[in-house]
Amino acid sequence: MTAARVRAWLLADAPASRAQARLGRVYLGVAALSKNPLAVVGLVIVAALVLVAALAPRLATHSPYGQDLERRLRPPEDAHRFGTDQLGRDILSRVVYGARVTLAIVVLVAVIVAPIGLAVGTVAGYFGGWVDGVLMRVTDIFMAFPRLILALALVAVLGPGIVNAILAIAFTTWPPYARIARAETLTIRESDFIAAVRLQGASPIRVLWGHIVPLCVSSLIVRVTLDMAGIILVAAGLGFLGLGARPPEPEWGAMVSEGRQFLLDQWWIATIPGAAIFLVGLGFNLLGDGLRDVLDPKAR
Amino acid sequence: MDVTVTTPAGTGRGAWPPAFVVRVGRLAVTIALTFLGLLFVTFVIGRVLPIDPALAILGDRALPHVYERVRHELGLDLPLYHQFWNYLVKALRGDLGSSVLTGRPVIADIRQFFPATLELATFAIVLGVVLGVPMGVWAAVARGRWPDHLVRVLVLIGYSVPVFWLGLVGLLLFYARLDLVAGPGRLDVAYEYVVEPWSGIVLLDSLRAGELRVFRNALAHIVLPGSILGYLSLAYIARMTRSFMLAELGQEYVVAARVKGLSEARVIWRHALGNVMVPMVTVIALSYAYLLEGAVLTETVFAWPGLGLYITHSLFNADMTAVLGGTLIVGVAFVGLNLFSDVLYTFFDPRAR
Amino acid sequence: MVTRPLRLLMVGLLLASLAVPVAADTPKDTLVMAKFIDDIISLDPAEVFELSGGEMIANLYDRIMMYEPEDTTRLVGGVAESWSVTGNGRTFTLKIRKGLRFHSGNPVTARDAAYSLQRVIRLDKTPAFIVSQLGWTKDNVGDLVRAVDAATLQLTITKDFAPTFVLNCLSAGVGSVVDMKEVQQHERDGDLGYTWLKTNSAGSGPFRLRQWKANDSVVMEAFPDYRHGAPKVKRVVVRHIAEPSAQRLQLEKGDIDMARNITPDQLAALKNNPDVVIGTYPKADLYYLGLNQKHEHLKKPKVRAAIRWLVDYHGMADTFLRGQFKVHQAFWPSGFFAALTETPFKLDVARAKQLLAEAGVPNGFPVKLDHANGTPFMDIAQSIQSTMGQAGIKVELVPADSKQVITKYRARNHDIVLLYWSPDYMDPHSNADTFARNPDNSDDAKIKPLAWRNAWDIPGLTKKADAAVLERDAEKRKQMYLELQRTIQQDSPFVIMFQSTEQATTRKYVKNFVSGPTFDTVFYRLVTK
């Protein structure tokens, strides 16, 4: 097939299969996205993050853990492009490996949070009544609780570590997702096609799973992408307060925290991982912003 | 003329009891439940926290009988449900208890720490509103052109930057290198005991006492952390303003107003912005509430003696009475601001009336 | 139009932020000091047991016996002018100095001194053990501690302790003399003035407390009628600044006169600053690893020996700990009576591997290391992790808030713990009591010395330590402590690594700050600026 024919197939007015229709939608989305230069920049940054994480062992010039007290606090130079930290570890290598930590946190939080939010929100919205009341009151309580402090408390309870930080962040991030899913469900619930499905005798679970959930997914994806940066920042904040990854794990927030002692004389130790957090956050935000324009034209 | 407002949420039907009453009633229930929930969550965290609260009071070297006595005084030797009951009863009586760390009533501690947070958050929100709203309007009006892109980039940077890092870099640059602002803390020691605390908000107290030097020094201290937090809320506010304005500018009445020959400025600033202001109040209230709780990292970096630092410090000493007190205050602020914007909504949004 | 006022406001704010003034110098008559003081929970001398609190009350109260800033290692009479020991060494008679006054103007009498000690026993807070070990209880303290007349204090002890040991106990914070009349005026519900004294002072020391704001500041004012004359500065402000780099920055700017918690690397950068002087003061704090003997591998003597060769003592002391830690490997700090100063261990991975092989774990084993957040623990822990890793011991670091670490330690739930220990009073028994004594190793033991926390059952050593504290012959006593230290150095759950040194940094014009070997021999009264 030539490119033109592929395009025609993708854009067919009457797709012959579900797969064709879906791919067509994706293609349109990608096409729209590529017209937004900022979103492309975002995509490039996120792709770079994934690549760096995947190729960390090849990109790193040193071991991220290897200490050398003789060569500590070195400024950026040929042997150490980003300099060394207070224990003589190569900062470039640590930042590169840190991409893995960041990526793991973001992905895992998203994987945990979206389904929880979706489940709570759609159930509350679909069933209404006391189910809605109970679920939404619980959501409200979590919303009223100071988020970072709750996350701090949870990590303090669970002990520091990446997994626990992920759990704590997930635990404090789901309520907005539940709200969004509920709002979407409320509008969908009343629509004619749901009534039709219900008349056909579909069970509530079937209606929820087969018809409502898929319709909520796109707005959740936008929200997740937009939230990625926020998640990265909370994770880095926990790391900064000493509650994220355990040393010597090269977590960027913790690296900033370690480097703050040296900010005045060895600026690179805190500044470079901080810049990495910023860059990746920006990447996700640019991408999310573009995605929102594509997937959710109402919010333009 | 068809005047409607695009609102992010809220429905109203012309039934009895009036929507207003229903909303307030529902809110009251929500508030009550929220507080119960907060109590429960703080209690659970306090009990499963792997820190021995008696240690915070006694240190590590107390004799066994002293240790037992303090555990008894704290009620730690009672069964869990009994402990929760005591905790609940006391809190409901409005007795937030005494901090085991400072030995003072939690209320007194909060009275000391909260004004600092309030001052910082207010400074930031004023900055955020004053700059963010016009920027959002500007971006919406110039949609798709360079001002829009500029605002968008500014907003996204604000959404992406780690506040603790920005604070550190800001201190390095503006305090250490350029000497433009004062360092961490709220005041230089030279000015610290000049003004008697009245509201606890130094900027106000110093003006009230007519101590301009103190005021200037306090300003020099708050400018950097305040601006950094202000930037973050600016990003949020500008973005929301833009999207509300876009929705509003697409409305028919705007077209009609233009056709009627009203000046563009009048259409934008008076009519469209006027209508957008109602949902914007919600946004601003939320953003303010977020600042009240979200300042932990900024307070850490700038040694700002506020509520965030107090709660965090108490948490790591297992001083759960203090954590609860601080959290409740933040919770109250949160719910209160929500309530405020909700009521405002009800009054100004014709559909919700 | 809304724009115009908005614009004006914007411009105004911008101008205001640009026109801000630069910091002012500190006031001439005030010493402004940056220090971590978030550990203070009380300033009642019957309760104070925290490092910063101890330092504060050392400047607010005179003690019965005390160390003076002129010589922080020589025990002299404080409120007491002279003393004599009679009755087989069990009766101490102390004469109170004449003409002393409290801050309130009340005269200092033996009754105040007796009241102060009785109050410590009756309140029974953490540091009470320092005097209750002399045999005093709530029931007998009224008889055993009494004022014969306004100028004579008589103390009776119930065991045959060395007299120097008893006098040392009276020089601790609990030996502070409080103003009985003043305290009684503030007594509520029979609390012996405890609620009030937590946040106020009623002493006869060189300073009086003006204000303590938790986690923020302590402000004290000079007492003009102090027995050695009024302090040179009128006021001392101790500010809690949690960041060493912020302390350094503010010191360089002249926002503060003195910084107490600047790290070695920061100091290296300060050395070239002509406006700043670095003072060095040896301390008695020891940094050590505790190896839980319940751990299947750590309980093996060869493993314990191997770990002693897996710490890069000198590498750390010469780099990120430079100037603030020296290698010290015995349980009593050098510079004091009966200290063992030999340091036989250094990093030797090959030797450690050999020992591990002999212990039957040639490939090492995984183990957790609990330690506090923050400097220097984070860096020490990571260095140890790295060097132990070289011999195959896979260390997982578990950083937490220090109270959390101690909670776990007290429950014996750790594998390895990294902590520090500072003596309660400057007698070797203070440390022998915890490193070399473990009278009951059962899980529900009442007393939890460091040996117990590491589940180290040592009936033999406990007896030796008990004998040493009762030995009256100073030279014999010294040999007994040296032997105890050697035993523990060679084989014990304790890998003692460093003794700390305080480096206090001041502006050039600040002179005569005194920081003695312990946390409560830090004195402000001679400071000039």
Does the beta-carbon distance from A156 to C319 stay under 8 Å? no
pLDDT of residue A277: 95
Does the beta-carbon distance from C265 to A87 stay under 8 Å? no
Work out the pLDDT band at C8, boundaries 50, 70, 90. Answer: low
Structure token pair of residue B22: 């229903």
Mean pLDDT of C420-441: 91
The structure's pTM equals: 0.84
Does the beta-carbon distance from B189 to C249 stay under 8 Å? no
Of B299, B340, B326, the C-alpha closest to B119 is B299
Does the beta-carbon distance from B185 to C253 stay under 8 Å? no
Window B:139-168, CB contacts with C under 8 Å:
none
Subunits next to C (3 or more Cβ pairs <8 Å) are: A, B
Window C:175-214, CB contacts with B under 8 Å:
195, 198-199, 213-214
Window B:64-83, CB contacts with C under 8 Å:
64-66, 69
Asked if residue C2 has pLDDT above 50, the reply is no
| Distance from the A153 Cα atom to the nearest Cα atom in chain B, whole angstroms | 7
CATH code of the region B107-352: 1.10.3720.10
- Digit-coded pLDDT (tens) for B220-274: 999 999 999 999 999 999 988 898 888 888 788 777 887 887 787 777 887 788 7
Subunits next to A (3 or more Cβ pairs <8 Å) are: B, C
Q: Is C243 part of the contact surface with chain A (CB cutoff 8 Å)?
A: yes
Does the beta-carbon distance from A241 to B165 stay under 8 Å? no
- Digit-coded pLDDT (tens) for C254-289: 889 999 999 888 888 888 899 999 999 989 999 999
Tell me the domain boundaries of chain C: 61-191, 282-502
**Using CB atoms, which residue from B62, B269, B305 is nearest to C215?**
B305
Work out the pLDDT band at B3, boundaries 50, 70, 90. Answer: very low
Work out the pLDDT band at C80, boundaries 50, 70, 90. Answer: very high
Asked if residue A42 has pLDDT above 80, the reply is yes
Does the beta-carbon distance from C386 to A265 stay under 8 Å? no
Cβ(C418)–Cβ(C377) under 8 Å? yes
| Distance from the A174 Cα atom to the nearest Cα atom in chain C, whole angstroms | 27
pLDDT of residue B4: 34
Does the beta-carbon distance from C13 to B305 stay under 8 Å? no
Q: What is the DSSP letter of C511?
A: B
Pairing mode, strands C514-515 and C494-507: unpaired
Mean pLDDT of B50-56: 76
More confident residue, A116 or A152: A116
pLDDT of residue C9: 53
**Using CB atoms, which residue from A144, A154, A271 is nearest to B38?**
A144
CATH code of the region C61-191: 3.90.76.10
Does the beta-carbon distance from A67 to C378 stay under 8 Å? no
| Distance from the A244 Cα atom to the nearest Cα atom in chain C, whole angstroms | 10
Q: Is C220 part of the contact surface with chain B (CB cutoff 8 Å)?
A: no
Mean pLDDT of B106-125: 90
pLDDT of residue C62: 97
Does the beta-carbon distance from A87 to C382 stay under 8 Å? yes
Asked if residue B9 has pLDDT above 50, the reply is no
Helix axes C3-18, B212-249, angle to 10 degrees: 140
Does the beta-carbon distance from C379 to A262 stay under 8 Å? no
Considering the segment(s) C282-502 as one domain, its CATH architecture is Roll (3.10)
**Which of C262, C319, C395, C505 to mutate to probe the A interface, most A CBs <10 Å?**
C319
More confident residue, A132 or C490: C490
**B202, amino acid identity:** V
More confident residue, A13 or A256: A256
Does the beta-carbon distance from C404 to A246 stay under 8 Å? no
Tell me the domain boundaries of chain B: 19-92, 107-352
User: How far apart are alpha carbons C441 and B275 in whole angstroms?
Assistant: 75
Q: What is the 3-state secondary structure (H, E, C) of C256-287?
A: CCEECCCCHHHHHHHCCCCCEEEEEEEEEEEE
| Distance from the B343 Cα atom to the nearest Cα atom in chain C, whole angstroms | 25
Q: Is B38 part of the contact surface with chain A (CB cutoff 8 Å)?
A: yes
Does the beta-carbon distance from B34 to A146 stay under 8 Å? no
**Using CB atoms, which residue from A242, A260, A263 is nearest to C399?**
A242
Does the beta-carbon distance from C241 to B313 stay under 8 Å? no
Q: How far, in Å, are A10, A26, A212, A214, A293 from residue A218 at the CA level?
A: 20, 12, 11, 8, 12
Q: Report the residue of chain A nearest C269, measured CA to CA.
A: A265
- Digit-coded pLDDT (tens) for B264-309: 777 788 778 877 877 888 788 888 887 876 678 899 888 888 888 8
B-to-C residue pairs, Cβ atoms closer than 8 angstroms: 161
Asked if residue C504 has pLDDT above 90, the reply is yes
Cβ(C293)–Cβ(C299) under 8 Å? yes
Subunits next to B (3 or more Cβ pairs <8 Å) are: A, C
Q: Is B286 part of the contact surface with chain C (CB cutoff 8 Å)?
A: no
| Distance from the A21 Cα atom to the nearest Cα atom in chain B, whole angstroms | 30
Mean pLDDT of C519-529: 93
pLDDT of residue C320: 92
| Chain A partners within 8 Å of C382 (Cβ) | 67, 87, 247-248
pLDDT of residue C146: 94
More confident residue, B93 or C326: C326
| Highest mean pLDDT: which range of A292-296, B243-247, B327-331 | B243-247
pLDDT of residue B5: 35
User: How far apart are alpha carbons C253 and C251 in whole angstroms?
Assistant: 5
3-state SS, residue B322:
helix
pLDDT of residue C12: 55
Answer positive or negative: Cα dihedral of C300, C303, C304, C305. positive
Of A101, A102, A97, A86, the C-alpha closest to A62 is A97
**Residue burial A223-234, b: 16+ Cβ < 10 Å; e: rest:** bbbbbbbbbbbb
Does the beta-carbon distance from A263 to B168 stay under 8 Å? yes
Least confident of A90-99, B60-69, B163-172, C192-201: B60-69
| Chain B partners within 8 Å of A157 (Cβ) | 45, 48-50
| Distance from the A125 Cα atom to the nearest Cα atom in chain C, whole angstroms | 41
Structure token pair of residue C163: 């007299």
Does the beta-carbon distance from A73 to C265 stay under 8 Å? yes
Q: Is C398 part of the contact surface with chain B (CB cutoff 8 Å)?
A: no
Asked if residue C406 has pLDDT above 90, the reply is no
Window B:149-208, CB contacts with A under 8 Å:
149, 152-153, 156-157, 159-165, 168-169, 171-172, 176
Of C273, C265, C189, C31, the C-alpha closest to A87 is C265
Q: Is B192 part of the contact surface with chain C (CB cutoff 8 Å)?
A: yes
User: How far apart are alpha carbons B274 and B271 in whole angstroms?
Assistant: 5
More confident residue, C101 or B20: C101
Mean pLDDT of A252-256: 92
Burial class (CB in 10 A: 0-12, 13-18, 19+), A81: middle
Does the beta-carbon distance from B323 to A153 stay under 8 Å? yes
Cβ(B83)–Cβ(B346) under 8 Å? no
Work out the pLDDT band at B7, boundaries 50, 70, 90. Answer: very low
Does the beta-carbon distance from A146 to B152 stay under 8 Å? no
| Distance from the A5 Cα atom to the nearest Cα atom in chain C, whole angstroms | 55
Does the beta-carbon distance from B50 to A281 stay under 8 Å? no
| Distance from the B1 Cα atom to the nearest Cα atom in chain A, whole angstroms | 24
A86: left (phi over 0), alpha (psi -120 to 50) or beta: alpha
Helix, strand, coil percent content, chain B, rounded in steps of 5: 75, 0, 25
Phi/psi at B10 (5° precision): 100, 125
